[in-house]
Structure 1
């Protein structure tokens, strides 16, 4: 079974993150919401609080088949500024 991760930083766009989560779960594709914060709570660009499944620092990225980076401002700016995220390397097929 495919397993995906979606990285949510403060300021993410709700539609670009939560719609993806909803659709993949409806398709029986496992997806975990990863908080880029040091806590599970992430705040969207429109101040919607979302509780993630896991914090970035605790995630094992080698267990995922796909990584999803949702848009929104300042969420994308916060993702881009995260050096730990930028340093992840993956084996390609």
Structure 2
């Protein structure tokens, strides 16, 4: 049986994943968690951008050219490409 997913587990995954932030990718790269367990966790847990930032702030190196975007918006697949700085993550 897989162990339950925690906030720390999820925040660490977000911290070390430079491109692909999908729960499928998380499950594929972590043997301790199944896709279904991660899905149940994310459905039941309220993870705000503030919570993520509080957990990763000390790891981020600020530069004049850098930026951090927290966005949980879900758009139709054709719409995002009309928006600057949007790229595929899968």
Relative to the length of structure 2, the TM-score reads 0.24
Higher strand fraction (1 or 2)? 1
Relative to the length of structure 1, the TM-score reads 0.24
Higher helix fraction (1 or 2)? 2
